[in-house]
């Protein structure tokens, strides 16, 4: 019985690790489906423009932009999860340990500067930033580019969805603002449970609200990581007043995104080799804490 319960718990725990990924994928594809419907069926929103040649071109351009962002989100997310940021399989060097090296009692090995142990992944991660619960993977030296690019296209996609939904609501507002429509936007769940709206209207209102909230959260998170990148810091180093790895804004971007940083964000297939190895870093100050 104990063995059965242990096996069942392991399966539940394994499934729980993938639950955030499934929920994220469901949310992304739901928003994509809703915006695709708006583009193909509802847009353009002015009646006199619906049967013009410009209407077809407008829809084609919007669909291309939408699925270009979706492709980048899914591809970067996939590469982020598949790329191993840990010290597994990495030769950390010989006995000559430099400044900033530490001993990890969990991994039973010396680890380089900016490397720390993740108790969720149960391994030390090179240039560890944080553990991303949405993907069940640590953000580190080798997959930071995919994480940041995925975050950027999520922000751009949510902004696009917010704009599209805003156009719909502007048309609705032109017809007149009612107490019913305001409650639908602010409290869609209550309106559905009370039977005041159809499931279709609830789905559109709920996705629209999710887009707005998601856009604000992702925008704040993206802004924070862009600031970190420009400062040459990780999330773990944010609270420190010292910035020993700050090489200047341009060099810091190159350290994170690689040699071809100015174009690699357009597509994850564009190679952009990183200038370092995740073990040795250029420093502009002391690594020891100030007394």
From the list 132, 211, 256, 264, the catalytic residue is: 132
Q: How far apart are CA 173 and CA 133, in angstroms?
A: 39
DSSP one-letter code for 41: I
Pairs from 270-274 (Cβ < 8 Å, separation ≥ 24): 272/145, 274/141, 274/142, 274/145
Q: Active site includes 132?
A: yes
The CA distance from 255 to 229, in Å, is 9
Rounded Cα distance, 244 and 281, in Å: 10
Residue listed under structure tokens 């696009």: 160
CA angle, residues 179, 185, 191, in degrees to nearest 5 = 75
Q: What is the DSSP letter of 276?
A: S
DSSP 212-245: HHHHHHHHHHHHHHHHHHHHT--GGGTT-S--TT
Q: Which residues are catalytic?
A: 132
């Amino acid at each position: 019985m104990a063995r059965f319960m242990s096996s069942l718990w392991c399966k539940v725990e394994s499934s729980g690790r993938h639950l955030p990924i499934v929920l994220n994928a469901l949310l992304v594809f739901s928003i994509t489906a809703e915006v695709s419907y708006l583009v193909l069926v509802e847009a353009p929103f002015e009646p006199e423009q619906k049967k013009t040649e410009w209407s077809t071109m407008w829809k084609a351009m919007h669909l291309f932009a939408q699925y270009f962002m979706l492709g980048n989100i899914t591809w970067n997310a996939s590469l982020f999860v598949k790329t191993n940021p840990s010290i597994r399989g990495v030769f950390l060097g010989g006995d000559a340990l430099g400044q900033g090296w530490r001993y990890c009692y969990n991994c039973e090995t010396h680890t380089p500067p900016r490397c720390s142990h993740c108790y969720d992944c149960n391994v030390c991660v090179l240039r560890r930033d944080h553990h991303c619960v949405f993907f069940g993977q640590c953000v580190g030296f080798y997959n930071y580019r995919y994480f940041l690019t995925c975050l950027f296209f999520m922000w751009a996609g949510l902004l696009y969805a917010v704009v599209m939904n805003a156009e719909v609501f502007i048309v609705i507002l032109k017809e007149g603002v009612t107490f019913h429509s305001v409650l639908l936007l602010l409290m869609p769940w209550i309106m559905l449970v009370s039977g005041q709206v159809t499931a279709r209207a609830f789905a559109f209102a709920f996705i629209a609200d999710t887009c707005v909230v998601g856009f604000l959260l992702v925008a704040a998170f993206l802004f924070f990581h862009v600031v970190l990148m420009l400062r040459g810091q990780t999330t773990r180093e944010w609270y420190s007043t010292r910035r020993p790895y700050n090489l200047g804004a341009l060099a810091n971007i190159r350290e994170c995104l690689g040699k071809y940083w100015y174009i690699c964000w357009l597509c994850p297939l564009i190679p952009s080799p990183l200038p370092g190895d995740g073990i040795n870093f250029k420093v502009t100050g002391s690594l020891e804490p100030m007394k």
